[in-house]
Amino acid sequence: MLTTSIGRIRDRYPEANFNIYSYYPGRDGELINDPRIRVFSATPLYLVSVFLPCSLLLTLLKALHLTSLAKLVPESVRSLDGSDVLIDLAGVSFIDGREKFLPYNVLTLAPAFFLDTPVVKFSQACGPFNNPVNRFLARHTLSRIDKIFARGRKTHQHLQSLSLDTCHPDPAADVAFLHQAQDRISSEGHQQLINLGNRLRSESRKVIGICPSSVLAAISDRQDSNYHNQIATLCHQLMAQGYAILLYPNATREGEMSKLRNNDLPVIARIVNQLKDDNHTPQPLYYVDFDINTPGIKQLMSYCRLVMVSRFHAMIAALAIGQPVIVLGWSHKYREVMEFFELGDLVFDFSQLNSGRILNTIRNTLDHESSIRQQIKQHQESAKASAHQQFTYLYNLLDQVDSCKQS
């Protein structure tokens, strides 16, 4: 979502500068080497201890016409104040059952409200809002946003239930459908990707790609479930039937293998180790154990006959390149997108994972691979047109801001 947003904005405004507010500012700052992109902290601690109070301070200084003292405020706050728009790329926000994230959902937006920086929430999953606390915070926060794009029919319905008088939510497909290879802003894992790609290219067996999720792994661990075991069992059964397996991530933090948040590499390592411990031959097993970006992920998927994913944007990437995809997910957000492509029957709840059922689905999908690829292709342009609505709105907003500055 981030690299696509930067890429499509640069299509219209090639000289634009970008301020990224990141949960991992140190790591992201190391990966990005672009003079027009700056990375600032958006960790919970920084938001509470620095960003929010300093935003209030800068607001007060401006109200008192003491702008000469603004230099005392951190650059991160001044950069937001000087931004023409804040684009929220949360992915998911204000969802019942994820109440512990509600403070972060609010705090990432509140400084922009204080500084009068316009806020546009690009397509993401929101709601339901049955929890009174979630409903209260969502209604009072989202009503301050200039524009909200809902990712899917259910999210749109959830947002409409809030009756946001000041902000009309519009449905739109995920911006990642508009991703292009040249949008990359980092080049991690370049040589490892070449080496793995060469091995996959020479593989004579049909390659099945599997993208596990650290989110599902964490949920599974809390519920004493067996997500890792089920995936490992499925890999073993597929290899026994003559398929090659590629385990690949959608989110990576290679240097922090002890942490699951936004990091699928530990999940892959655990599955691989379990397969090796069970004395299964690793020969038809390929896996990613390094940082990788979106173009790299798409390149690896191109070597597969189909993929099974548990990550939302891994699903989007597959659909964007016309790849047959089976989804093992956890919320309505997966099914909504797959139903748009008339592939709702390929979505399964991870808590009901059954390797026998998945095996049958994989075989049936491969039997109809050509028609499924054609079906995906027929819906791609509609998905892209829907996603582009967000940039049409954004371009108009930025043009208006620019016009006001000139006048």
Task: Assess whether 152 and 192 both reside in one domain.
Answer: no
Residues 74, 132 within the same domain? yes
pLDDT of residue 219: 78
Residues 199 and 174 in one domain: no
Residue 224: predicted pLDDT: 64
Q: What is the reported pLDDT for 329? A: 82
Domain at 402, CATH number = 3.40.50
Q: Containing domain of residue 7, as a range? A: 2-179+384-406
Residues 279 and 169 in one domain: no
Rg (C-alpha) for the chain, rounded Å, is 22
Asked if the model's pLDDT at residue 282 lies above 60, the reply is no
Beta carbons within 10 angstroms of residue 4's beta carbon: 22
pLDDT given at position 280: 54
Average pLDDT for residues 294-309, to the nearest whole number? Answer: 96
* Per-residue confidence (pLDDT) for residue 126, from 0 to 100: 92
Mean pLDDT of the chain: 92
What is the structure's pLDDT at 225?
65
pLDDT band at 226 (very low <50, low <70, confident <90, very high): confident
Q: What is the largest CA-CA distance in the chain?
A: 73
State the average pLDDT over residues 205-228. 84
Query: What are phi and psi for residue 312, nearest 5 degrees?
Result: -60, -50
Asked if residue 222 has pLDDT above 80, the reply is no
pLDDT band at 281 (very low <50, low <70, confident <90, very high): low
User: Do 95 and 167 share a domain, yes or no?
Assistant: yes
Q: How far apart are CA 287 and CA 282, in angstroms?
A: 10
Q: How far apart are CA 274 and CA 356, in angstroms?
A: 19
Give yes or no: residues 298 and 347 share one domain.
yes
- Of the candidates 91, 134, 88, the one whose C-alpha atom is nearest the C-alpha of residue 108 is 88
- What 3-state class would DSSP assign to 285? strand
Residue pair 125/155 in contact (Cβ under 8 Å)? The answer is: yes
Say if residue 211 is in the same domain as residue 357: yes
Q: What is the pLDDT of residue 333?
A: 81
Q: Are residues 244 and 142 in the same domain?
A: no
Lowest mean pLDDT among 25-39, 66-80, 144-158, 266-280: 266-280
Total domains present in the chain: 2
The pLDDT, as a whole number, for residue 178 is 98
Q: Do 278 and 136 belong to one domain?
A: no
Check pLDDT > 70 for residue 21: yes
What's the whole-number mean pLDDT along residues 280-304? 89
At residue 350 the predicted structure's pLDDT band, cuts being 50, 70 and 90, is confident
Judged against a pLDDT cut of 80, whether residue 258 lies above it is answered with no
Q: Is residue 13 predicted with pLDDT exceeding 60?
A: yes
In sequence order, the β-bridge partners of residue 87 are 120
The pTM of this model reads: 0.92
* Mode of pairing for the β-strands spanning 207-211 and 170-171: unpaired
Instruction: Check pLDDT > 90 for residue 216.
Output: no
User: What mean pLDDT do residues 262-280 have?
Assistant: 85
Question: How much is the pLDDT for 91?
Answer: 86
Instruction: List the structure tokens of 113.
Output: 């409200």
Per-residue confidence band for 330, with pLDDT thresholds at 50, 70 and 90: confident
The verdict on 204 and 326 lying in the same domain is: yes
Q: What is the pLDDT of residues 53-81, one digit of tens each?
A: 999 999 999 999 998 999 999 999 999 99
Assess whether 172 and 202 both reside in one domain: no
**CATH code for position 279:** 3.40.50.2000
For residue 153, which phi and psi values (nearest 5 degrees)? -65, -45
Mean pLDDT confidence for 343-368? 89
The residue-averaged pLDDT of 273-287 equals: 78
Give the residue carrying structure tokens 């293998």.
257
**pLDDT of 119-128, one tens digit each?**
999 999 899 9
Q: What is the reported pLDDT for 279? A: 59
- Per-residue pLDDT tens digits for 167-189: 889 999 999 999 998 998 888 88
d(CA 29, CA 49): 21
Sheet order of strands, 244-247 included: 285-287, 244-247, 207-211, 306-309, 325-329, 347-349
Say whether both 388 and 370 belong to one domain. no
Question: What contacts 24+ positions apart, CB below 8 Å, involve 94-101?
Answer: 94/126, 94/127, 94/129, 94/134, 94/137, 94/138, 94/141, 94/142, 95/125, 95/126, 95/127, 95/128, 95/134, 95/331, 96/127, 96/128, 96/129, 96/130, 96/131, 96/134, 97/131, 99/131, 99/133, 99/134
Whether residue 166 has pLDDT greater than 80: no
Residue keyed to tokens 């001044």? 78
Q: HEC states along 167-222?
A: CCCEECCCHHHHCCHHHCCCCCCHHHHHHHHHHHHCCCCCEEEEECCHHHHHHHHH
